[in-house]
């Protein structure tokens, strides 16, 4: 992390989160109300900005 000058590997982050009590959460199924068109629009408009990708 640049702010504090600390870096972790992905495995190190996994160990750290586990020690703090976090676990991966995966839904058992997709929501019935899920709007696939809205999800696709969000991925192209918002998620790419969050991740810093440019298309």
Assessment of whether the complete model's pTM goes beyond 0.95? no
At residue 24, the pLDDT reads 80
Beta-carbon count within 10 A of 48 CB: 13
What is the structure's pLDDT at 37? 93
| Cα-Cα-Cα-Cα dihedral sign, residues 7, 10, 15, 21 | positive
Within its chain, how far is the Cα of 19 from the centroid? Answer: 19
Residue 55 is predicted with a pLDDT of 52
pLDDT of 19? 93
CA distance 46 to 20: 29
Residues of the chain with pLDDT under 50: none
């Amino acid at each position: 992390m640049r702010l504090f000058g600390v870096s972790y590997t992905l495995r190190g982050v996994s160990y750290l989160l586990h020690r703090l009590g976090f676990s991966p959460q995966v839904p058992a199924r997709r929501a019935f109300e899920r709007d696939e068109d809205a999800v696709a629009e969000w991925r192209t408009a918002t998620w790419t900005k969050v991740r810093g990708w440019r298309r």
